[in-house]
Structure 1
Amino acid sequence: MIALAGEYSMFRVADRLLLTGHSHQAWPDVAVEGQLEAFEVAARDVDEKWAHALAKADEVRAGFRRFLGGDTAEIALGANTHELVVRFLSALDLSARPTLITTDGEFHTLRRQLARLAEAGVEVVRVPAEPVDTLAERLAAEVDDRTAAVLVSSVLFGNSRIVPGLATVADACDHRGAELLVDAYHALGVVPFSLDGIERAWVVGGGYKYLQLGEGNCFLRLPEHASALRPVITGWYAEFDTLDAAADPSRVAYGAGATRFAGSTYDPTSHYRAARVFRFHEEHGLTAEFLREVSTHQKDVLARRFDEHDLPADVVTRDRVTPLDGFGGFLALRSPIAGSLRARLTERGVLTDSRGEYLRFGPAPYLADRQLSDAVDALAEIVSNLH
């Protein structure tokens, strides 16, 4: 492992037990260079700043492509995945294909929006996420000629399980003419992402979590056939390339490529910050493969330390059936009092988080093994004091 803590001095990562790495990793110090550059360019160029800002956006797209295995597909950017998913959904013909298929283990962006669409009359089929090993097959079995799209994560945000076999879902979607949207947010930066077998999939994700980009940096990867779709939810940037052309009042125009899924005026500061952080990744060799190596080592440290304490399983336990390489970037501990344990850890200066019955320990590449062990030791002491 390499010593990185010194590159994150502003977040004081060496002095704090920041185990929320799966939710919000610290930013490297160089991120502030991007923040300042955005201001300097705006002050210097005023309204002419946009050419510079759009070039930064292209740097961000290139950064995301590296974590998508060097994929060359068009990429639309957004402040969050919700706005991108909504534009995607608005491009579907739900009158002809009224069914959306998803799982009951999706992040709140999909969970909430699809639940509200179901209330409004859209047919939403929720497939149980467990058992994860058969999830892809069970999703594929639900796809029929009424299916508009399948929406599923590559790594489940609640328990960190990697979803295997997504190519099976892609094949079913291709056969029936449905779309596949894969949420890769909890993969990028801890699990190398491959498009093998899912080349026609849409992929959504962002850099707020493992990539250390901060807020405002999300993307939608467009498959080649995306140019045939016309999102109903559309901002004026989606016709940016055609503003000088004579407008046809009878039909809304769209630009080429990813432009058709663009929104409207945005704050480009996040892209300056992200571009600088992506450059930091390259400067320090923080490739997808290396970050997976670090993540695997750190999860192993956490798991071994947890097992050494032999805590009562009715209070807190972990999945010991699934190999550690079957998980994403955090150690999920199951507990009926997960929220209470998280609160008590916070009081001791150990920052984790919880979702339902899962207490989540999220390491990051700037943390030392000693810090990981100290965090688990604090949990063990808390549990011991419960009895």
Structure 2
Amino acid sequence: MIDVNILTKDVNPLSRFYSNFKVTERILLTGHSHQAWPDAAYEGIREAWKDAALFVDDKWEKAFHKSDRVRQGYAELLDGKAHNIALATNTHELFIKFLSALDLKNRRKVITSDSEFYTVRRQLDRLDSEYLEVVNVASEPYDTLSERMAQLVDDKTAAVVISKVFYNNSKIIENLSLLDRTCEKFGARLMIDTYHTLNAIPFSIIEENLPNSFVLGGGYKYCQLGEGNCFMLIPDGVEFRPALTGWFSEFGMITAPKVQGQVNYGPSHWQFAGSTYDPISHYRASSVLDFFRDMQYSPVKLREISLHQLKYLASEFDKAGMPSDIIDRKRDIPLEKYGGFIVFYTKRAARITSELRQRKIFVDFRGENLRFGPAPYLSNRQLADSIIALKEIVTNIGKS
């Protein structure tokens, strides 16, 4: 079992399971964007190749077993049911299918926040006015966001779309159950983006009391599954007929008689099924999920490690005494209220990111938000080294 104490070693013992990503030769603080894949992922890729070569077109039976494993993995993380989890290569595909399943003829209003990820923000901006009435709610103050959004829901509302953890600043949003109940009352649908949630913080639709919600996310970040492994949890026992539909949906009712011109949908996740895809992503994900199981990487344990790393970064930053007019962090909210990364605020975010990269320290930024995202295979020594390098860069900026 992994333990916080392993982080105190100069070389994190977990790093040996990530040798292909060279996690000891560079400092990958982009854990919130793209965590390293364990070496086990490569075995999944090799297995996909072997099955394709051996079974040719008959490989799909094997591939569907892998997709079922991915559904089960997400179901365990969410406390949901595997048969209610639709898969796709990206969240955009699932999001537009979700929109196409709504009664937009009679309900044009979609309520969202001003801090949603580009997938949601760009698509809703394009649909606004011409096709939908999009209401953007200010995310701050965060503690009242759910309540303020709930007050706007009415019988003209098609959906509410909100993140559990915001991508730009890592802030956790609470009281989503209020939105779930309010949407159910008015016949609207709640979509919760959990891409920055799964394996960053524990998240259960049962404990959060979200029986009527759609839950969107993927494994590219904290799950270490790589690209092509996105999901959407569908509310249990509800039927939908998305206008954007792939022919794989018919696999869910393969024995039913077909009537010319009639479009039927399979049950549960088959309602939102797509079409032919590259199954390698599910082979890779299946191997990684098995690795997480064997290593006992639970959301609770991963959160314990993540919080330790975030607090360590914050402490090292504060001790470094960098000029606050160049770079600073917010201290009014405890780190327990944030997800899997810490933000340093600076107008030089782009320059600092570039100069850190030259030192083999990988971070990223959004606007003036410099994001440091640790991962369980990093050591305290690596975190300290990243802050030392940051101070040197900031000091040079101050001299220029």
Match of 1:212 in 2: 224
Q: How does 1:56-95 map to 2 (within 5 A)?
A: 56-69=66-79, 71=81, 74-95=84-105
Match of 1:149 in 2: 159
**TM superposition shift of 1:314:** 2.0
| Aligned: 1:266 with 2:282 | no
**TM superposition shift of 1:119:** 5.1
Verify the 8 A CA contact 2:196 2:221 in the aligned structure 1. yes
Between 357-366 and 236-245, report the one with greater CA deviation.
Answer: 236-245
SS at match of 2:112: strand
**TM superposition shift of 1:244:** 4.4
Of 333, 336, 349 in structure 1, the residue corresponding to residue 344 of structure 2 is: 333
| Aligned: 1:201 with 2:213 | yes
**TM superposition shift of 1:33:** 0.5
Root-mean-square deviation (CA, aligned residues, Å) is 1.2
**TM superposition shift of 1:73:** 5.9
Verify the 8 A CA contact 2:75 2:81 in the aligned structure 1. yes
Distance 2:107 2:132 in 1: 10
Distance 1:257 1:169 in 2: 23
Distance 2:72 2:268 in 1: 15
Distance 1:327 1:96 in 2: 38
How big is each residue's C-alpha offset from its partner over 1:251-281, in whole Å with a ceiling of 9 and x where there is no partner? 2111111101000001100000000000000
Of 372, 375, 389 in structure 2, the residue corresponding to residue 378 of structure 1 is: 389
Verify the 8 A CA contact 1:213 1:273 in the aligned structure 2. yes
- Flag the 1:66–1:243 CA change in 2: closer, same or farther, 3 A: closer
How big is each residue's C-alpha offset from its partner over 1:189-241, in whole Å with a ceiling of 9 and x where there is no partner? 110002132111000000000100000001000102431x1000001001123
Match of 2:56 in 1: 46
Match of 1:221 in 2: 233
Match of 2:257 in 1: 246
Between 110-119 and 363-372, report the one with greater CA deviation.
Answer: 110-119
Counterpart of 1:25 in structure 2: which amino acid?
A: Q
**TM superposition shift of 1:245:** 3.3
How big is each residue's C-alpha offset from its partner over 1:49-100, in whole Å with a ceiling of 9 and x where there is no partner? 1111101111001111121135556100000111001100000011111100
- Flag the 1:213–1:72 CA change in 2: closer, same or farther, 3 A: closer
**TM superposition shift of 1:322:** 0.6
Counterpart of 2:210 in structure 1: which amino acid?
A: I
Distance 2:361 2:66 in 1: 36
TM value normalised by structure 1: 0.97
Verify the 8 A CA contact 2:71 2:82 in the aligned structure 1. no
Verify the 8 A CA contact 2:32 2:222 in the aligned structure 1. yes
SS at match of 2:87: strand
Verify the 8 A CA contact 2:83 2:268 in the aligned structure 1. no
Distance 1:178 1:225 in 2: 16
Distance 2:215 2:161 in 1: 10
Distance 1:62 1:246 in 2: 30
Distance 1:69 1:364 in 2: 23
| Aligned: 1:116 with 2:90 | no
Distance 1:225 1:112 in 2: 31
Match of 1:4 in 2: 14
TM value normalised by structure 2: 0.94
- Flag the 1:276–1:72 CA change in 2: closer, same or farther, 3 A: closer
SS at match of 2:128: helix
Between 260-269 and 2-11, report the one with greater CA deviation.
Answer: 2-11
SS at match of 2:74: helix
Distance 2:328 2:79 in 1: 34
Q: Which runs of 5+ in 2 are unaligned?
A: 7-12
Of 173, 184, 187 in structure 2, the residue corresponding to residue 174 of structure 1 is: 184
How big is each residue's C-alpha offset from its partner over 1:165-204, in whole Å with a ceiling of 9 and x where there is no partner? 1111112111111100000000101100021321110000
Identity of aligned residues (%): 49
How big is each residue's C-alpha offset from its partner over 1:87-121, in whole Å with a ceiling of 9 and x where there is no partner? 00000011111100101100110011111111533
Distance 1:181 1:70 in 2: 15
Match of 1:291 in 2: 302
SS at match of 1:359: strand
Match of 1:354 in 2: 365
SS at match of 1:109: helix
Match of 2:10 in 1: none
Between 249-258 and 161-170, report the one with greater CA deviation.
Answer: 249-258
Verify the 8 A CA contact 1:30 1:277 in the aligned structure 2. yes
Match of 1:310 in 2: 321
Distance 1:19 1:357 in 2: 17
Verify the 8 A CA contact 2:77 2:204 in the aligned structure 1. no
Q: Which runs of 5+ in 1 are unaligned?
A: none
Aligned residues: 386
Of 109, 119, 140 in structure 2, the residue corresponding to residue 130 of structure 1 is: 140
Counterpart of 1:169 in structure 2: which amino acid?
A: L
Distance 2:129 2:14 in 1: 48
